[in-house]
Structure 1
C-alpha cells in the first residue's frame, strides 16, 4: 500500500516538474523616450498562442522559446513585433504613436472574442476557497489580470464602434492627422456611450468641434498630449 502511495506521489511530482519545466521568456517593456517601464502591455506569442500582460514595472514572463514570434501592443504606442533569437532577458522599447489616437490593442478584427479565443483565461481566473493555487499562484493572478484587461478592451471596442472615424468625419470637416488629434482629445467614456443615443452623440461631437476650433494650435497639441 505504501509503495503504491509512494509511486503515485512520485508520478505527481514528476508531472508538476514537467509542467514547470516548460520554456519561458522574460523581459521588460519600456517607453523608448523616458525609459520607464510600461504596465499592461499586451504580449502575444503568436507561435504558441500564449498571452500575458506586463507588470507595473514593465516586466513580463511568457511561455516561449527561441524562434517564436512575439507581438507587443499598448494604447498610445506603436506595436512592436519580435522574432526571438536569444532567450536571454528581452528589453522591448515601444515608441509613442505620433497619431495619438486610441487604439484597440488585442486584435484589429472587430469580431475578436476573448471568451472564445482564450477560454483558459476565464477558467484559470476562477477562485476556489479550497484550492490555494487558484488564489496565490502566479498563473492564476496573471489570468485575473488578463480577464480584467479583456473587459476593459471590450469597453474600448464599444466606444470605437460608436465613435468611429467614419461617423465623426461625417459630422465635422477635418481629416487625416487633425481628425485623429480631435478624436484623441474628445474620445468619450464608456459610461457616456452607454447612456447616449445617436442624436446626443452627434451633438456632443459638434459641440466638441466648436471647442476644438477655439483652441490655438499649441493648445490643441498640449490638450492631445494630456488627454484633456
Structure 2
C-alpha cells in the first residue's frame, strides 16, 4: 500500500525533528560551585560555528555532536572549553574572576572587536523581512537577534575597558591592588559616560566616585557576587 503524500510528508518532518533533537546539546551554567545560575553566557561551538546564549535561568541548547569543542564565556568569569564526548545534559561551572589588574591590556593597542566581521552569519540570520513570517518568529532568527544585542554590549564593554583602565584610574586616585580592583568594579562607568572619549570628564567622574568610596564602611567597599 502506498503512503498518501500528506502521511509521507509528516513522517519526513518527524524524522527530521528526531535527527535534530539528537544533535542538540543542552545544559545549565552555574557560578562556581554554588547553585547560582548565570544568564547571558556566550556558548560557542568552535567545531560547527554554532552560537547561542544562556537564558534567564542559565539554560542553553545548541546544535553539537561528540568530538566538538564548546566554549562558555561571560564577562568577569574565566572561560571554560568543554570537549563533548556525548550529548547528555551538561552542568557547566564558570569561576568568577576579578579585573585581573596584571593582565588587563592598558596600551590601547588591542585589536578592536568587530562582531559583524567575525560572525557575519549572526547578522544575516538576525534580519527581518516583512514578507517572511519565519524571519520574525523562527527560533534561529530570535537567537541571532539576541546574539546581535549581546555583541553590541560586548563592543561597548571593551570601549569602557580601554578608557577606564587600571593605569589611568590609579593615576587619578591613590589606590592599588585589591582596593583598586574593588573601586573599579563598584564605580565602573556606563558606556554613555565614556563614548565621547573625554578624558577630563572621566577624571572628574573618578574623583567624585572616589569621594563616595571613601565614605563607605570597609565591608561595603567590596563588590558582592551573585551567590552572596
* TM-score interval for Structure 1 and Structure 2 normalised by the shorter chain: 0.7 to 0.9
Residue 175 of structure 1: aligned partner: 176
Q: How far apart, in 1, do the equivalents of 2:137 and 2:22 lie? A: 20
Residue 185 of structure 1: aligned partner: 186
Q: How far apart, in 2, do the equivalents of 1:21 and 1:210 lie? A: 56
Residue 91 of structure 2: aligned partner: 91
Extract unaligned runs of 5+ from structure 2. 105-109
Q: How far apart, in 2, do the equivalents of 1:66 and 1:204 lie? A: 50
Residue 201 of structure 1: aligned partner: 202
Does the Cα contact within 8 Å between 1:110 and 1:157 map onto a contact in 2?
Answer: no
Residue 107 of structure 2: aligned partner: none
| Stretch deviating more after TM superposition (20-29 or 143-152) | 20-29
Residue 43 of structure 1: aligned partner: 43
Pairwise CA RMSD: 2.9
Q: Could you tell me how far 1:214 is from its partner in structure 2?
A: 3.2
Q: How far apart, in 2, do the equivalents of 1:68 and 1:128 lie? A: 33
Q: Could you tell me how far 1:122 is from its partner in structure 2?
A: 0.8
Structure 1 segment 121-132 matched on structure 2, within 5 A = 121-132=122-133
Q: How far apart, in 1, do the equivalents of 2:163 and 2:182 lie? A: 17
Residue 115 of structure 1: aligned partner: 116
Helix, strand or coil for the counterpart of 2:27? strand
Q: Could you tell me how far 1:218 is from its partner in structure 2?
A: 1.0
Does the Cα contact within 8 Å between 2:65 and 2:87 map onto a contact in 1?
Answer: yes
Q: Could you tell me how far 1:44 is from its partner in structure 2?
A: 1.4
Does the Cα contact within 8 Å between 2:113 and 2:155 map onto a contact in 1?
Answer: no
Q: Give the count of matched residue pairs.
A: 208
Q: Could you tell me how far 1:185 is from its partner in structure 2?
A: 0.7
Q: How far apart, in 2, do the equivalents of 1:133 and 1:22 lie? A: 23
Q: How far apart, in 2, do the equivalents of 1:196 and 1:110 lie? A: 18
Q: Could you tell me how far 1:73 is from its partner in structure 2?
A: 1.5
Q: Could you tell me how far 1:47 is from its partner in structure 2?
A: 2.6
Cα-to-partner distance string for 1:77-101 (whole Å, 9 max, x where unaligned) = 332221112221111122333x267
Residue 224 of structure 2: aligned partner: 225
Extract unaligned runs of 5+ from structure 1. 1-5
Q: How far apart, in 1, do the equivalents of 2:91 and 2:225 lie? A: 27
Residue 212 of structure 1: aligned partner: 213
Residue 73 of structure 2: aligned partner: 73
TM-score by length of 2: 0.79
Q: Could you tell me how far 1:226 is from its partner in structure 2?
A: 7.5
Q: How far apart, in 1, do the equivalents of 2:20 and 2:151 lie? A: 26
